[in-house]
Amino acid sequence: MEFYKLIPHDTKIDFVSFRKFTYIFSILTVLISVGAFIFNGLNFGIDFRGGFLMEIRTQQEANLGELRDKLTKLDIGDVYLQEFGSKNDVLIRIPSPSNQTQESQNASIEKVKTTLGDNVEYRKIEKIGPKVGAELVNNAMIAVIISLLAILIFIWLRFEWQFAICGVVSLAHDCVILMGLYSICHYFELSANSIVALLMTACYSIHDTVVVFDRVREDMAIYRSLTLVELLNKAINETLSRTVLTSLTTFLSLFALCLFGGKVIFDFCFPILFGLMFGSFSSICLACPLLLITGVKYDGKDIELGLNK
């Protein structure tokens, strides 16, 4: 079977009939995510809780892997290294534990200096206070809220308000579950990269959803004899091949990066991979079935549909 026929053209899966199970699963995962956020909190990285930043210049080309191994053994928390400018310039970021005092932080800086030795030029050492982290949290929340509102307005203008509501609910579902990953698994720190992963998940999810919604609207103008349930199933199945193949190719790329990209790449790519899976799920199984609990105009008539149909 050719790869492009992985999903047959005449697929007729009755996705809408599973909507009760979809709703239950989605509600449970959202509740678990919210509960984890309330009771377990988040593991904030240096961008949010503060720490210290060191800018160094090595005499020879810096080996980030070797430097990371040395600093990790100091047991001073997660160490982030980034090459910037020339290959001899390295930026070191070390977050502060919530109970760390000024004295213990100074001791951590001295440990780093001792480990790096005298052959390193320390160009800048500065502390990042928690106030900056609080401002970043507020800015990140504002960015996400503005993004959701912009998406809501766009879909409202492009389709109808029912589609906009269902699209944003589906999108919020994906974002909440992704934040639940950060709450449940404290291995992943919430950093500026996490906000990027969150927005990438939102963009991918809403892109898939809009493709399905566009096919729903096209089919509404063509198939007048179908019920709305049949029409939604038809639209989902018609776009299923595109959704699966797009998600699969993206999944394989991210999976390869997670396996072979190292810890820094893994911490960035795995949340996106996780969000991608739930984004594809919500586009196929959640966004369209949610139209059944709103009123949509189909064949010139307002149709009130309940969960029991």
In a 10 Å sphere around its CB, with 0-12 CB exposed, 13-18 middle and 19+ buried, how is residue 296 labelled? buried
Nearest 5°: the CA angle 61, 64, 65 is 125
Same domain, 120 and 202: no
CB 211 within 8 A of CB 244: no
Same domain, 117 and 152: no
Residue 105 within any structural domain of the chain: yes
Mean pLDDT of 41-47: 77
Structural domain ending residue among the three candidates 102, 128, 154: 128
Percent of the chain with pLDDT over 90: 8
Extended beta strands in 51-119, E state: 51-58, 80-83, 89-95
Residue 309 scores a pLDDT above 60: no
Same domain, 56 and 168: no
Same domain, 124 and 136: no
How many CA atoms, within 13 angstroms, populate the side-chain half-sphere of residue 195? Answer: 17
pLDDT value of position 25: 93
d(CA 245, CA 31): 30
pLDDT value of position 1: 44
pLDDT value of position 77: 67
Q: Which residue has the higher pLDDT, 167 or 117?
A: 167
pLDDT value of position 241: 84
Mean pLDDT of 142-152: 79
Here the tokens at position 148 are 């959701």
d(CA 70, CA 114): 11
Residue 307 scores a pLDDT above 60: no
Extended beta strands in the chain, E state: 51-58, 80-83, 89-95, 120-128, 295-298, 301-304
Same domain, 63 and 148: no
pLDDT value of position 97: 62
Q: What residues does 92 pair with on adjacent strands?
A: 54, 81
d(CA 296, CA 228): 9
Mean pLDDT of 149-171: 82
Mean pLDDT of 164-188: 88
Same domain, 75 and 202: no
Mean pLDDT of 60-81: 76
d(CA 191, CA 222): 48
Domain count, the chain: 2
Query: For the CA atoms of 267, 270, 271, 276, what is the dihedral angle to 10 degrees?
Result: 160
Residue 309 within any structural domain of the chain: no
Q: Which residue has the higher pLDDT, 135 or 177?
A: 177
Structural domain ending residue among the three candidates 128, 163, 197: 128
* pLDDT, tens digit, 9 for 90 and up, residues 181-200: 999 988 888 877 888 888 88
Mean pLDDT of 231-241: 88
pLDDT value of position 67: 79
Distances (CA, A) of 285 to 15, 113, 165, 234: 6, 54, 16, 13
Same domain, 115 and 243: no
pLDDT value of position 23: 92
Same domain, 21 and 116: no
Q: What is the CATH number of the domain that holds 222?
A: 1.20.1640.10
Q: How confident is the model at residue 299 (pLDDT cuts 50, 70, 90)?
A: low
Q: How confident is the model at residue 308 (pLDDT cuts 50, 70, 90)?
A: very low
Same domain, 84 and 196: no
- Which structural domain range is residue 55 located in? 51-128
Residue 276 within any structural domain of the chain: yes
Enumerate residues 6+ apart whose C-beta is below 8 A from 102. none
Enumerate residues 6+ apart whose C-beta is below 8 A from 192. 47, 136
Distance of CA 173 to the CA centre of its chain: 11
Same domain, 109 and 238: no
Residue 106 within any structural domain of the chain: yes
* pLDDT, tens digit, 9 for 90 and up, residues 10-33: 778 888 888 889 999 999 999 999
Structural domain ending residue among the three candidates 92, 107, 128: 128
pLDDT value of position 130: 61
Enumerate residues 6+ apart whose C-beta is below 8 A from 288. 15, 16, 166, 212, 213, 216, 232, 235, 236
Same domain, 33 and 75: no
Q: How confident is the model at residue 85 (pLDDT cuts 50, 70, 90)?
A: low
Same domain, 235 and 288: yes
254 SS3 class? helix
CA-CA-CA-CA torsion sign (3, 240, 253, 77): negative
223 φ/ψ angles, rounded to the nearest 5 degrees:
-100, 95
Q: What integer best gives the mean pLDDT of the chain?
A: 79
Residue 16 within any structural domain of the chain: yes
Q: What is the CATH number of the domain that holds 124?
A: 3.30.70.3400
Residue 306 scores a pLDDT above 50: no
Enumerate residues 6+ apart whose C-beta is below 8 A from 83. 62, 64, 89, 90, 91
Residue 218 within any structural domain of the chain: yes
Mean pLDDT of 169-176: 89
